[in-house]
Structure 1
C-alpha cells in the first residue's frame, strides 16, 4: 500500500544533506544535483521519499563510482527501464525507502522534463493542490479496482507534464 503524507518542510533540508553526501562520495566526478518530484514542491502531499536528479558529463564515468553510492546505502538498479539513466534507491534497514536517485548524462531530454514538471507545480500551486488531492484520494481507496497508485494518477501526471511543456 502506498503512503502519501502531508508536505514536510524538512524535505528540503533532507535533500541538501543527502546531496552533500552524494557529492562527497562521487568525488572527483562532477555531478549536479536537483531536488525533484513531489517532495520538492512546497505544500504538495507526497510519498516521503526524497527524489534526486543527478546530471553528469559522462554517464559511463558514473558506473565505476557506483560502489561508493552503495557505501551510502544505495542499491544500484542500472537503467531500470529507462535508457540513458542510472537509477539508485536507498532504503533504511527496516525496509522504508528514503531516497530515489536518477542520474542522466548532460543533454538527456529526461533532465528538462523532470525539472519542468517540478517547476510547473511550484509555479502553479492550484495545479499542485489538485494533484495532491488526487494522490490523497487514491491512497484513501478512491480509484478503480485493480489499478496501482501509479496507474491511478497517470492521467493527471500526463496532463500536468503537457501543461508544463507548454
Structure 2
C-alpha cells in the first residue's frame, strides 16, 4: 500500500529532472528526440507528490521495447503500456521503496505528447488554475492518505477540464503565432 504524500514545491525538482533526463537519454540513445519535465513537479509553486515525471519523445516506440535492459540497469521497473495505448511506462523507487520517478515514453507524433505539454504549459501560464489544482491535491491527499486510486480518481474531472482549456489555449497561441 502506497501512502499519498503531497508536499510543497521543491526548487530542486528541476535539477533532479535534469540529472535523470541525462541518464535516460544515455540508456535510450539515438532513439531519443526530447525529454520533458511534466507533472506537478514541473509546475512552480504548487504542491505535488515528490515523484519526477519525465516524458520522453522517441523515434520508434517499438525500439524502446528492445531497450528495456538499459532502463532496468538504471533501476526502472518495466510496465509496458500500463493503461495508455502507445505508451511505454517505467517507474523507479529509491532504496527505501519510495517512488521517485515515472517515465512516460511516446512516439514523437503521439497526441499524448501534445496533451501533456499543453497541460504543463497552461498550468504554468495560469497560476489561479494551478493553485486550484494544488488545493485539490492537498484535499485529496488528506481524504485518501493510503488510497492512491481514490486520490487519482478524485483528480480526474479537474484534469479533464484543464486538458480542454489547455488544448484551446494552445490552439489559440498557434493561431496567434501564424498571423504574426
1:51-130 mapped onto 2 (5 Å cutoff): 51-130=53-132
Unaligned runs of 5+ in 1: none
Q: Does 1:43 align with 2:45?
A: yes
Asked if 1:165 corresponds to 2:167, the answer is yes
TM-score, length of structure 2 as denominator length: 0.86
Change (3 A) 1:101 1:65: same
Higher helix share: 2
Establish whether residue 23 from structure 1 lines up as the match of residue 25 from structure 2: yes
Q: Cα distance, 1:130 vs. partner?
A: 0.8
Q: Deviations over 1:115-137 (max 9, x none)?
A: 00000000001110011011111
Of 78-87 and 29-38, the range deviating more from structure 2: 29-38
Write the distance in 1 (CA, Å) between the matches of 2:138 and 2:131. Answer: 10
| Matched residues, number | 163
- Distance in structure 2 (CA, Å) of the matches to 1:12 and 1:123: 18
Q: CA deviation at 1:25?
A: 1.9
Query: Following the alignment from structure 1 to structure 2, what is the Cα–Cα distance between the partners of residues 135 and 55?
Result: 27
Whole-Å separation in 1 of the counterparts to 2:44 and 2:77: 28
Contact 2:32-2:56 within 8 A present in 1 as well:
no
Q: Which residue of 2 aligns with 1:152?
A: 154
- Counterpart position of 2:10: 8
Quote how far apart the aligned CAs of 1:27 are. Answer: 2.1
Deviation at residue 101 of structure 1 after TM alignment: 0.2
* TM-score, normalised with respect to structure 1: 0.93
Deviations 1:119-163 (CA, angstroms, capped at 9, x unpaired): 000000111001101111111228xxxx70011121211111111
Q: Deviations 1:17-57 (Å, cap 9, x if unpaired)?
A: 00011111222433410000100000011000000000101
Q: Quote the Cα distance in structure 2 between the aligned partners of 1:152 and 1:48.
A: 18
Distance 1:138 1:29 in 2: 38
Runs of 4+ that moved beyond 4 A: none
Alignment partners' CA distance in 1, 2:105 and 2:157:
25
